[in-house]
Amino acid sequence: MALRRTRTVDDYWIAGGKLGWLLGGATMAATHASAGTYIGTVGVIHAVGWEFTWIVLFIPFSYWFMAAVLAPRFARVRELTLPAFLERRYGSPRARALGAVVILIAATVYIQAQVIAGGVIAETVFGVSPVWGMTAFTLILLAYTAVGGMVAVAYTDLVQLVVMVIGALVAVPMAFRLLDGPGPLFAAVESLRPETFDFGSLPAILMVTMGFSFLLGGIATPEKLTRLYAMRDQRTMRRGLFLAIALATGVNLLVFLVALAAIGLFPLLPTGDLAMPLMASYALPPVLGTVLLAAIVSAIMSTVDSLLLVAGSALSHDLLGVARPEASPRARMLAARLGILVVGIAPLVLILSGVGEGELVQFIVLLFTAIMASAFFVPVVLGVTWRRLTRQGALASMVGGVVTVFAWQAEIFPWPGWNPDFIHPAAPGVLVSFFLGVTVSLFTPPPPEDALRPYFGAGTGGNA
């Protein structure tokens, strides 16, 4: 069905801009729920305690901001990709190409976390070698994403979201039953791991800056912004975003309870990322365990297919569009599908080479959100709310933000304590991005009026 409905480039990248609020909101929420939710969040809570839960609750505010600030502007001018927006707003093919390169790098980081989670599930549940599990998982995702585009992704996301919600709803009461109810569950966790409910496992400033990463990265991630373009109009966008808030928040709250149950049932694990697969395979009856396992796999797949689609568009529509604007639609579609294959396989190759080995899934996800926030928050949000942001300012903010994130992650700063274990890279990355964007803009000529008109015209609410 998706292949039949994918006849044009618009259909492939943004479903022709025809998604309704139910399908649009569901695919937005499904994209949010990833291995970071079902395996990563549970893994971090298992490792450091329940103090991590409040960080994830930053996420609904990012959806609210998108509904209140971005939806009115994005509804005025429909693009196929986030880099295409950058070119229109700043009149710069370089900004478009740079945005595409950042997306390709960040997508590889994020997909790596999901592939690692797929390998954990394969080994824990099926006794299959992680390499074979990660390979099979990658091939399945590549197949339907490359063929059907946004239409296939949206419909599979809807089905996967239903499975995710059912899995969480099934797991929580069964976990309570295994531990004789909520009261005994909390008592068991308090007895086995008393530090679970204490604050202080992570530095306070690290907690705040990780929440900062979730909030700003959630606003600026291209796979979510592209879904605004895929929905019919401003009203549809807002209704879809509020649906995504309800669904994402509900799933997170259920997962928090499952994480506590995992601590009560499996207090000692070599890595917290094993907690959720063990719940599905050993703690629950076979039928219910299968449902929970399906929820975990659905969460991973719904995120990876979205990232693959964004990466494919970055390569074909944006990089190829800048390098060879005369390329035919057929050539661009072929490049897109080849790009999806390359970006889908690259994380697997990196993992097999030892890159990212031993990292908790959620911390890899947080690195992705830091890259997104540092690269795109200023050019996107300031770009539609502050007329004075210039092409030079946007380029400086993107380059400076991303370089700062990787420098901070690599711990190249000479001052003691200035490292990702104390302050998350998102904070210095966004601060440098903001400083460069504003400072460079103030020292360069104002942008032309025709670049501003789509976003600061009547009815947008932008600054005059």
Give the DSSP letter of residue 20.
-
Residue 462 confidence (pLDDT): 45
pLDDT of residue 43: 79
Amino acid at 318: D
**305/311 Cα distance (integer angstroms):** 10
List of residues 6+ apart from 346 with CB closer than 8 A: 108, 111
> How crowded is residue 149: how many other Cβ atoms within 10 Å of its Cβ?
29
Which of 394-414 are b and which e, b meaning 16 or more Cβ less than 10 Å from the residue's Cβ?
bbbbbbbbbebbbebbeeeee
The pLDDT tens digits along the chain (464 residues) read 444 444 555 555 555 567 788 877 777 777 776 666 777 778 788 787 777 777 777 778 888 888 788 877 776 777 767 888 898 899 888 998 999 889 888 888 777 777 777 777 777 777 777 778 778 777 776 665 555 455 556 666 677 777 777 777 777 787 777 777 778 878 888 888 887 777 777 788 888 888 888 788 778 777 777 777 777 777 888 888 888 888 888 888 888 888 888 888 888 877 777 777 777 777 677 777 777 777 777 777 766 767 777 777 777 777 776 777 776 767 777 777 777 777 778 777 777 776 555 555 667 777 888 898 999 999 999 998 999 999 999 999 999 999 999 999 888 876 766 778 888 888 999 999 999 999 999 999 999 888 888 888 655 444 43
What whole-number distance in Å separates Cα of residue 425 and Cα of residue 391?
25
Question: In one letter, which amino acid is 294?
Answer: A
Q: Is residue 386 part of a domain?
A: no
Is residue 55 included in any domain, yes or no?
yes
Helical pair 82-90 and 93-126, crossing angle rounded to 10 deg? 160
Q: Which residues contact 80 (CB under 8 A, 6 or more apart)?
A: 9, 10, 13, 14, 226, 229, 313, 317
Residue 409 lies in a domain: no
**pTM of the complete model beyond 0.85:** no
The predicted structure's pLDDT at residue 396: 96
Separation of alpha carbons 268 and 278, rounded Å = 12
The two tokens of residue 403 are 């370089």
CA 321, CA 269: separation in Å to the nearest integer? 49
Helices (H), 266-319: 275-278, 286-313
Spell out the long-range contacts of 259-262 with Cβ–Cβ below 8 A and sequence spacing 24 or more. 259/41, 259/42, 259/45, 259/46, 259/50, 259/53, 260/45, 260/50, 260/185, 260/186, 260/189, 260/196, 261/171, 261/172, 261/175, 261/176, 261/178, 261/179, 261/185, 262/42, 262/46
- Total domains in the chain come to 1
Q: Would 181 be classed as within a structural domain?
A: yes
Residue-number span of the structural domain to which 300 is assigned: 2-361
Q: Counting Cβ atoms within 10 Å, is residue 114 exposed (0-12), middle (13-18) or buried (19+)?
A: buried
Tell me which residue of 427, 462, 52 sits closest to 217, measured CA to CA.
Answer: 427
Residue indicated by tokens 């380059």? 399
Query: What pLDDT, on the 0 to 100 scale, is given for residue 1?
Result: 45
Whether 377 contacts 214, CB under 8 Å = no
Token pair listed for 353? 């080479």
Domain membership of residue 217 (yes or no) is yes
Flag whether 132 is in a domain.
yes
In a domain, 195, yes or no: yes
Q: Which residues contact 143 (CB under 8 A, 6 or more apart)?
A: none
Q: What sections of 314-390 are H helices per DSSP?
A: 320-323, 329-352, 361-377, 383-385
End-to-end CA distance of the chain, in Å? Answer: 46
Q: How far apart are CA 312 and CA 17, in angstroms?
A: 18
**Does residue 280 lie within any of the structural domains?**
yes
Per-residue model confidence (pLDDT) at position 8: 53
- Determine contact, residues 256/53, Cβ cutoff 8 Å: yes
Kindly report the CATH number assigned to the domain that includes residue 197: 1.20.1730.10
